[in-house]
Every structure is written in structure tokens, then in C-alpha cells.
Structure 1
Amino acid sequence: FFFAPAHAGDMHSCLLLALLFVILSGVVAEPTILTVDDFEHRTQAATGQTTGKWFVKFYAPWCSHCTNLIPVMDELSTNMKEDNTGVIVAKVDCIANNELRERFNVTKFPTLILFADRKLYQYDGLRNVESMSDWVTAGYKKQDGETVPKPPSDFERLWNQYIAPLENDVRQIYNLRKAAAAFIFGLGALCGYILRGCFAGTKKHTKSE
């Protein structure tokens, strides 16, 4: 008969733990997806920031520069989580969440913003993991942070969704009517000038007879 050593079970446990460690070490902690519905609740950007510091990439799906930045942000997110820095890496699709784009005045893609210490900081440095890591953990403190814009109220959302488009339509109709009135006035003046010339020519021809 074959008898396994008394420590075989311990060896198996160690092997399983080692295998689990290898598997987990290869897992990438992708940036957290934020939307207009949960941005303020999760980040508390304008209401205290008790959930930690948030480094957010504002992007557009069609932007090639944004796509090229994906592996960098994935690695940065993984490092921040493994090192327990308290920095959460996230991303916002500005095409699907236009309200957030307008709120933070995002005019180019990608835009990288750190929400920390109840302020926001724009990142304009090199787009590599090392530079970003140094900046989000300490370097940002060398900059003057900006006040975080508050999320729009329910009334402002209602206005932006329904009233503002209607106002734009009315303005376009008004401008169109002004253009039409100017065209009609100009056409009338031209017709009057032509008719005046015709009558003048007819009158002159009658006198000559």
C-alpha cells in the first residue's frame, strides 16, 4: 500500500493558494464606469468627497486618443487599488452623459480630472502610468484646485430638457421670419424699381408719338 506523507494536504493547500495568487495577480481592475445617474452619489464630488479621491477620464467612444489611453488607465486603476492609495480611477462616456460634459465644461477628449479635497484638478501631464501615479497621489497639490460645480437641480434639468430646446426653436422661427420679411421687402423694392422703369419708358414713348 502507498501512504501519502502527513504534510501532503498542506502542500496541496499551498499549491492552491499559489495558483490563486497567480490568477488574481493577473486580474485587471478596470476603471469604474460613472453615469449621470450615479456620478454625484458615488463620487460626492460637490458634497464632501467622503468616498475617496476620484481620477476620472471624460471620453468619447469615437476618439482615437481616448482608445489609446485605455491600457494606461487600466494599469493605473489596478496599481491604485493594489497600493491602497485611496484613489479610484473612473471613466465617463460624454456622448451618453452629456449633462456631465456640460457640468464640467469638457471641451476636448480625453479630459482627465481629479476630484480631491473638495476641489477638482485638471491633469495636463504625460499620459503614462508613472506620471499619472505621481500626480494623483501627491503632484496635484502643487496646483490650485477649482470649485466643483454643483449638479443641476430638478428645475434646471427640466429647463435644459424641454424649455431650452423650445426656446431655440422659437428663436430660429423668429430669425427665419425676419429673413423672410427682409427678402419680401427686398423683392418688393426690386419689383417696384422694375415697374417704375417700365412706366417711365412707356410714358416717354407716348410723348414721343
Structure 2
Amino acid sequence: MSYLIFAILIFGIFDSTLGNLEAVKDDELVELIRNEKYLIVLFTQKNCEECSNLENELIGLREVLVEEIDAWVVKVENSQMTRLYSPGSVEPVLVFFRHGIPLLYHGEPNEEEILQMFTANKEPVSKELTDETFEHLTQAGTGATTGDWFVMFYTSDCIECQRLQAIWEAVGAKIKSRTNIARVNRATTGAATARRFNIYEVPAFVFFRLGKMYRYNFGELDVDSLVTFAQNSYRHMKHESVPTPKTPFDDLIALIIVYLKDYPWLWQAGLGIFCIIVLEILRRIVMSRR
């Protein structure tokens, strides 16, 4: 009899494990993001009906996701990391990590939609453009054959930019059939490109189409707002002609402006030094006339 009870208990534990997603803590999640090629994470909380419904959809999909994507599927409850991938949202939040790069799932809690989005976006959607590759790939100045481009300018030390990465990938997944999506690091590899388009604050979003550029000036930085802008509402915005790359002199002036904006103490120190020099010159003039 004791063996039977033991077998029932073991089977119950085993069955319960199969019926739920593996739960991990934040520190374990960080390691999984760092080490796993494909990782699907449900950010959830207790006593949340929507969270339970989405978890049930994932449980039904788990074997297919493992077979088709080779993805590890886990959940994390009451995580401090949720806002890093979906600022302003409440649980449930579903994120697909590809080589550590997050894609926020934006859609109905439906097995078919989840599977379609994840299998269609096993690789990161957004391209990384640099000063060397920007014009060659986008042909923004000529409006030639590479199509429309929606570009996010960012810096590595911009916290808001980091929080937008999963959202930006979700935007790309929605519009990639019609529009190219990319990122440019305003502070490093894309600094000259950012100066060309007078980008001084980040995050900044610019839509390039047929030799024209449209700046995204709305406050909302969510998937729906960004997708709507790229698909339609840019038409109602004032456009600018895409400028040619700056001459070395003009780029130097733009670089000085960037430094003065990024390091305001420089011009304050410069002004102070200038005032000291002027005062010293005036003092010597007065002394020479005595």
C-alpha cells in the first residue's frame, strides 16, 4: 500500500510540473537571457486571470515551441524586470528573447498568433546602421530602391532607449513586410549620421520615404502608436527633405553643438575663462595708462 501511495504522490508531482510553466527568479532569468539562444518568458503575477489565461495558451504551445524554435519557456512572478521590457504595462507581459534581444509579444492571447509571431521572428528584426552603412543601405538621400525606413536613434546609456528595445522589435515585427526598421547609436557608430539629421535628444524616431523624412513627435512610445505612424499618420505630418551628408566644416559645427548640449559645463567654463581673459586685458590697459 505504501508503494502505491508513493507512486500516486510522485505521479501527482510530475503531472503538476507538466501542467505549469517552469517558474524562475529574476537572477535565474538574467542567466537564461545571457546563455539561451531562444527564450520565451511570461512575466506574471498571482491572482491574475489574464495571466492564467495566457499561461494556459503557452502550456498548450510549449511542445510545439520547443520543437519548432528550440525555445525554453518559463515564467517569472512579480518580477522587477517587467518594466524593462514593457514600460507602463501590467502583467501579463510575454517576451521572446533571441540571442538576448527581446521582442515584446503584442497581440491576442491566442496560440496561433503567438506561434506565428515567434516563428516568423526567430532573428532580430531591427538592423543596426552606422555612419558607414546608413546611406548605402537606406539610400535615404535619393529615395531609391531599398524602400521605406523607420529609424530609432538611441544611446547605450539612455535608460528609456533600453526599455524601448522590446517594443521597437515588436514594431518591426508588425511592419517588416512593408518597411525596414533600424537603430542608430547617436553617441558612437552613428554620431555623424545623427548630426546630419540634427538629432540631439534620444530616443528619437524618423521615418524616411522617397527622399523625405518625417519626425515622430508624439509622446506615446507604444507599439500601436509607432506602427500607426509608420503605416499612415506620417502622411499628416510636415515633412523635411533628406539633407545630404554634412561637409567637414558643417559637421564640426554640429559636433560642437552636440558637445555643448551634452556637456553644458564646457561652455560655462569657456565663458568663465573668456571673462577672466577680458578682465585681465582691461586691467592691463588701465595699469598702462597710470
Same structural fold, with TM-score higher than 0.5 when normalized by the shorter chain: yes
In the alignment, is the contact (CA less than 8 A) between 2:195 and 2:251 conserved in 1?
no
Q: Render the CA deviation track for 1:88-121: whole Å, top value 9, x for unaligned.
A: 1101101113211211111211110000122000
**What is the rounded CA distance, in whole Å, between the counterparts of 1:72 and 1:95 in structure 2?**
21
CA distance in 2, matches of 1:122, 1:90: 15
Higher helix share: 1
Once the two structures are TM-superposed, the CA of residue 26 in structure 1 deviates from its matched residue by: 5.7
Post-superposition Cα deviations, 1:154-201, rounded to whole Å, max 9, x if no partner, equal xx237756xx99xxxxxx8xx686554224224x26x94xxxxxxxxx
Q: Which of 119, 124, 133 does residue 227 from structure 2 map onto?
A: 133
- Mark the structure with the bigger radius of gyration: 1
Match of 2:152 in 1: 57
Partner of 1:145: 239
The partner residue of 1:66 within 158, 161, 174 is 161
- Which residue of 167, 171, 179 corresponds with 1:76? 171
Aligned to 1:112: 205
Per-residue Cα deviation, 1:43-93 (whole angstroms, up to 9, x for no partner): 111112320111101112111111111111011112223xx12x1110110
Question: Would the aligned equivalents of 1:49 and 1:116 in 2 still touch at CA under 8 Å?
Answer: no
1:29 aligned onto 2:124: yes
Residue 194 of structure 2 is matched in structure 1 by 101
Which residue pairs with 1:90 in the alignment?
A: 182
Contact persistence 2:140–2:210 (CA under 8 A): no
**Structure 2 partner of 1:157:** 248
Alpha-carbon distance in structure 1 between the residues aligned to 2:250 and 2:233? 39
Which residue in 1 is equivalent to 2:137?
Answer: 42
**Percent identical:** 25
2:181 corresponds to 1:181: no
Offset, 1:28: 4.7
Task: Normalising by structure 2, report the TM-score.
Answer: 0.48
Structure 1 Cα separation of the partners of residues 121 and 153 of structure 2: 26
User: What is the number of equivalent residue pairs in this alignment?
Assistant: 161
Q: Tell me the SS of whatever aligns to 2:124.
A: coil
